[in-house]
Structure 1
């Protein structure tokens, strides 16, 4: 009789504990949006943008459920954003469903990585430029950063299954190898990186019509920061980081600022003289290092004012991309690792 009462008491405790499991509103929505393959999309089947601020009614739920795996992507922070948020939600609530979902997302990142270490923009969708190794919008670096946190047990990722940790260590090393291989050489000297690469040859390729083969400054800053995160600075990483920083220092644009304003409700982007400002172009020619600009018709321009008005104002062509990296982060990295700036 005592044994039965003891068993009953344990059962009641378990029920009470289950009832006390906390739920996070954002995390609950992310569970709904997760695709069967484990990743998340940036759009639904009807091409509407994933928006976690929207309440999930019957109509939206139907759209979510009809969205297939071909929408799974790492573009526009998709998948990495959700994994990071779910890990934080698990830390706050201890809801096992959030950790389970995050681990499924991590498994998706491991699944989509190419043998050469690169990451496509989409998986399993291979249409158009989606299969290219993609640094654009920090896609590959976002994925690798998640796997780095898993491998190192950082930023709350110490709770992840040990098998995923071991796989993530291998994936990060493969990713670094790919990064080092894809740093573009100019007369044998490493410069920075392009936006997209052929997934087989690892040669730079164009993506959208206005994204030509080029050196991509914003993404290259993200790549350098990722390399500087690594706990072990190999000679190859040291050379890569130093070379990229030298390239940034040699190819800045002094005396200009890039101003974004609203005129009659429309975004207007203007390149203006400013003696106190230093900026970089979004894209540079891989051979000459001249700033270049792509247009909707696939043409390449070397004069900002020659770009069509729609693309000139619809894309960020300049920015202070490498300022903080050069002036603060890189010197700290050198000092921390006792590396001479030579």
Structure 2
């Protein structure tokens, strides 16, 4: 009997030694993850760890004086020191591009809830004040605030839907002003919550105001819009002012369709955009990879009857037809007309609008539309 008990105890000890907590597992894999996965997708207990505190020290250290953060920094791996120094010297670098600023704020919120360190709350509030200050009177937000200098990056002042810049901000403001449990623990002053709510409402209205009208009919959105006229605006040389097919339009529609009790203007916006997506789908086509005459992997559209619908990245604001562009800034009607580098260095086609179309019927039913209105 004694030997049995000893064996059982030994087995229990060995098994216990092999059991890892969620935090242990995260710690083992932390450096292989992207920053946004660290910022707000870890198990909640991980944010109480020493490892999380060390990362938080870096996030606090590199917050810009105006309250924002630079983009493309993997804080859990290490900041780009040369770029950070340039940002501090020029006073330009705070941005909403590529999840910057909003991801750091989400991280600090979780850190504060776990650690109750006042530094995290202070930095979060400073970030919120930065967001409110960066908003234009028309409700939009630029990619960078203050805007970057130079002709080649003039688009940084445009109202930016690209990479979820606007929608990331709006989701955060909505959670803050609506008393979401995670953010409510920060005890944000009521005056700031009110400002966040008003900024949110202006932002939603800006989205509606930016929706492009083609021949008097609402269509969709561009990557970015002029901060004064609200019209589609260009960005990099190969990103002409155009209508977004599988990019920003999908992100915006996902956001608008998540709004409870949507107004008539929001409903009209959604219905018009979905109708445009349905009409703009490219049918019976797949994007095929093949080896060209030089042995390089290339792509080309190929006819395939019954293939799932796909959409172009950009559509002409004049004709509504797909357009493609090289670094020379000249629009082409087909992907074969642009050079190898850009043809294979950009995602010119995608299928993401299908998930909007698939969710559309449920959205209509949730909002009380009849069968005839669903056609």
The aligned residue for residue 310 of structure 1 is 341
Cα distance change on mapping 1:31 and 1:270 into 2, 3 Å: farther
Counterpart contact for 2:141–2:160, Cα < 8 Å: yes
Spell out the pairing of 1:80-95 with structure 2 (5 A cutoff). Answer: 80-95=102-117
Q: Indicate the larger mover: 229-238 or 207-216.
A: 229-238
Helix, strand or coil at the partner of 1:165: helix
1:131-176 CA-partner distances (Å, limit 9, x unpaired): 1111122211212221122122236222341322111110111111
Selected match of 1:283 from 308, 314, 317: 314
Cα distance change on mapping 1:311 and 1:116 into 2, 3 Å: same
Distance in 1, Cα, partners of 2:55 & 2:281: 41
Q: Kindly report the root-mean-square deviation, in angstroms, between the aligned alpha carbons of the 2 structures.
A: 2.6
Deviation at 1:61, TM superposition (A): 5.7
Counterpart contact for 1:191–1:244, Cα < 8 Å: yes
Deviation at 1:62, TM superposition (A): 7.6
The aligned residue for residue 97 of structure 1 is 119
Q: Indicate the larger mover: 102-111 or 271-280.
A: 271-280
The aligned residue for residue 252 of structure 2 is 223
Distance in 1, Cα, partners of 2:77 & 2:85: 16
Spell out the pairing of 1:127-138 with structure 2 (5 A cutoff). Answer: 127=149, 128-138=154-164
Counterpart contact for 1:259–1:269, Cα < 8 Å: yes
Helix, strand or coil at the partner of 2:73: coil
Spell out the pairing of 1:1-342 with structure 2 (5 A cutoff). Answer: 24-42=53-71, 49-55=72-78, 64=84, 67-68=87-88, 69-127=91-149, 128-154=154-180, 156-160=182-186, 161=188, 162-217=190-245, 218-258=247-287, 268-274=298-304, 275-328=306-359, 330-340=360-370, 341-342=373-374
Distance in 2, Cα, partners of 1:295 & 1:239: 35
TM-score, structure 1 length as denominator?
A: 0.83
The aligned residue for residue 18 of structure 2 is none
Cα distance change on mapping 1:269 and 1:51 into 2, 3 Å: farther
The aligned residue for residue 26 of structure 2 is none
Gapped regions of structure 2 (runs ≥ 5): 1-47
Counterpart contact for 2:261–2:367, Cα < 8 Å: no
Counterpart contact for 1:38–1:105, Cα < 8 Å: yes
Larger proportion of strand:
1
Distance in 1, Cα, partners of 2:291 & 2:133: 43
1:198-230 CA-partner distances (Å, limit 9, x unpaired): 111112111110010100121011111211222
Distance in 2, Cα, partners of 1:152 & 1:111: 20
Distance in 2, Cα, partners of 1:186 & 1:232: 28
The aligned residue for residue 10 of structure 2 is none
Deviation at 1:89, TM superposition (A): 2.6
* Bigger Cα Rg: 2
